Structure 1
């Protein structure tokens, strides 16, 4: 049958990203414990398309993905998917993002009751032909923040809010990425107090008092996150975003930051983008 997608296009425009968005498939995500957790991933999968061709072959994206749905996935498997895309779609670059809910076990601080907390996470890989994949892990963690100003000026009490803290990290190609469990713990430790899905009365007392003892503005949390991430061995780049859902305002407090960790990382970034 005639291959319309591979027919000639005369408009002379290269397309950087073309593919599929918001497909959903089951995947197995590798865990810190050495096993895997099954998730349903929302998918964005694209390749570059040279100006000579009319279109790409959309069915091939799903053909590639289906082969990996029953295998535990982390960086190595993401790079294999991207390599398949470069080969089967005859592209110079390929990009894949898997977004999913991931569950981590939480133990209440006083009662010890166990529960699971859902985190919004993503794996993102980008690869050019003949070069290592750039892999990024994104994790968003809910936490509690308590306002230092409210505590300082009030005779009793202080208002607090639920916060969403997101970190996106990229390590050097030769360095394994941090596990979701480790990154989520590091993130929540910078807030006034972690969030626990299941709390008994003694636990509620603990988290109320802990947050009161560790008041933090959104700026405090962001800066503490920067200081916590910078020492990670092999870290290349990171991005942070903190949002506090205010309890006394009809808006959120927000702060964000990103940086290349070393001069070497900034040099590599410039080489990628030149």
Structure 2
């Protein structure tokens, strides 16, 4: 089992992630080479390349914590990363985002038709890849893709849909899947209900932090129309007009504290000291890493 001392949590986690990211990248590439036709391989690789692999790495890490054998979850983590990458490729088309991961978005580089078709190809490949874990894992992947798609539908067909509802479907669902696959791979399906509640708040914390960094960039430049995510965020905060940066930051930090405490409440029933410690520290690590990109620091109040 991964042995963690609180003060060394970040170093231990980052060392694990760095080591296993190379493994995940290799396994993803091998899966594509095995299952994707030669004429679509270039697009498929473009879709999946360049990500941090956070969700897949989280699956491996939690599995290692639970049963000291991350290998049980490698194929599931690969499948999860395919689902996540495809969701981003489709999302960029819908939002007309031209940049992703520091380079042109897939639809810009490869065209809309190829992006949609190859994404549609990769999803069933991902579903098949988790079948070794049984029907519960297959069902979880299908349910997650349905949620992600519903999140896109809310964005496109109902621009007044709530900010948190969109995050729940498009972001939290993938963190929930990450944790659930770890539970299934570890034969600890008793943890799924807890992981579902915890993953909801972990997704909130991730996306709200990411949006705050993007909001800062917009406020500093203001060289484009106010983005939809910021409109929804301001409405959610009860500040329909663009308030000052300091006001926005304080309001968001207050919400981050609330959601962190909700995440901790969700895991109160876990009778595993190491796992509880990890799940308490994980949101802090994730939020800190995101906010660092905007030179921001979160002051957690428990």
TM superposition score normalised by structure 2: 0.30
User: Which has the bigger relative contact order, CA under 8 A and spacing at least 6?
Assistant: 2
Structure with higher strand content: 1
Larger radius of gyration: 1
Structure with higher helix content: 2
